Structure 1
Amino acid sequence: MVRHGQTYFNIYNKLQGWSNSPLTDKGIQNAVDTGNKLANIKFTAAYCSDTTRAMDTANMILAKNTVSDLDTPVVSKFFREEFYGYFEGTDMDQAWYLAGAPHGMPTFRSIVEQESIGKAKDLLKAADPFHDAEDNAEYWQRLDQGLALIKDNSEIHDGDNVLLVSHGNTLLSLVECFGNGQFDVTERPANGSITKLHFHDDQIEVTAFNVQ
């Protein structure tokens, strides 16, 4: 799994779930650098969310790959970032303050340290005046459909590699769920960073996180 390259909303510290902003020059370089790191990894399949920041990153990584027979990724809304509802485009620190401060947890870090990333989703939905933001159950119902796309792909066999380009909170959510507490999930992984998940039957294990 790769987090997409840096975007303008990343620079501006804005929540960017289903909303989208373009890759910066640095973000394009993130994708190129990661593509160079993965250039000799043979991928049987590739997936990404349907945001342009993820699609652009995935396409640039595949363009650098010298050993895979893949031109484009499978694009799916199931791999989108969490939907932040009313808080889309809001300053991240302000949004998490509004969600957590009434419960004595004024920052994203404090929510995760005292509760979980799943709880952060629930608190943000509760704070959303329209209640459009995804809560934890809604989020996983969608993401699980994306994971099923990979698991049910008959062209993927034991030992094969799959590329998935996704998002910061999605990576954190997967690592929290399948990382067995080995990794720090209080801060977002770097743009272009690599996280490795091992699929075995119905089990998923995170074996590396935020490799840069």
Structure 2
Amino acid sequence: MSGRIHFVRHAETLFNVNGQLQGWCDSPLTARGEAQVAALGEWMRDVPLAAAFMSDLTRTRTTMAGALAGHPQLVPTPMTELREWHFGGWEGQPNASLWDPVFAEHGTVYSPGSAAFGAMTANGFDSVLDAIHRLDPVGRAENAAAVNARMTVALATVVAAANLALQQDAGDIVVVTHGAVLGTLLRALIPGHRATAGFPNCAIVSVSPQGDGWVAATVDASCAAPLV
């Protein structure tokens, strides 16, 4: 069936390995990230694709190049709206420098992979985004309204392409973006959607049209841990 949307988190980067916040800044892919990109290209090779959209940051561009290795005729569309959340003064800093105070504002203690994040975001990401904005020492981090506004634009563009592909039986759509944005997009597209865990680098979440809405498959992490 045409019209599915394959959302992909970018491949592993140096900052991912170092536990640093990337946001709108960038770092190069690791050797494992390069292997993930190659695995993603093989995963996508036999998927009929009608259109491709990506964040305009380097790590998503590089990941998309791998995704489209078997589709050389397809030119992806870069979108600033698909960038990661902007972490302001915490960009490039250790993860804990941001998450310690944000978790504290929500009455809990941060630890990597903590299940508390699920409870904090049970009703959406707005309280977390607004806390990041309010606590940012330089005042540049996005608030919830800013993130939600660009997610609305991004989804309108992607869903329109998916609907057209469905009407024309032209294939699927691939979207390469970032971990936090992937969660935000899925929540906006499928109200009440909650991932049981985070999204590994190069993980894929495929959504299919169903009636007047969308339904998501489980997270496919088969490209996330290739041999290197």
Confirm or deny a common fold (TM above 0.5). Answer: yes
Distance 1:92 1:10 in 2: 10
Distance 1:149 1:127 in 2: 32
Change (3 A) 1:109 1:128: farther
Distance 1:77 1:171 in 2: 14
Tell me the TM-score normalised to structure 2 length.
0.81
More relative contact order in 1 or in 2 (CA 8 Å, sep 6+)?
A: 2
- Within a 5 Å distance, the mapping from 1:98-177 to structure 2 comes to 98-107=101-110, 109-116=115-122, 117-153=125-161, 156-158=165-167, 160-177=171-188
State the AA in 2 paired with 1:197: V
Distance 1:84 1:69 in 2: 35
Aligned equivalent of 2:100, options 97, 100, 103: 97
Distance 2:52 2:98 in 1: 33
- Is 1:183 aligned with 2:195? yes
Between the aligned residues of both structures, percent identity stands at 26
Distance 2:105 2:166 in 1: 48
1:31 equivalent in structure 2: 37
Tell me the TM-score normalised to structure 1 length.
0.86
Change (3 A) 1:182 1:126: closer
- Is 1:13 aligned with 2:19? yes
**Structure 1 segments unaligned to the other structure (5+ residues):** none
Aligned equivalent of 1:205, options 196, 215, 218: 215
State the AA in 2 paired with 1:122: D
* Deviation digits for residues 70-89 of structure 1 (CA, Å, limit 9, x no counterpart): 1x311110110111111111
Distance 2:211 2:56 in 1: 27
Let me know the Cα RMSD of the aligned residues. 2.3
1:40 equivalent in structure 2: 46
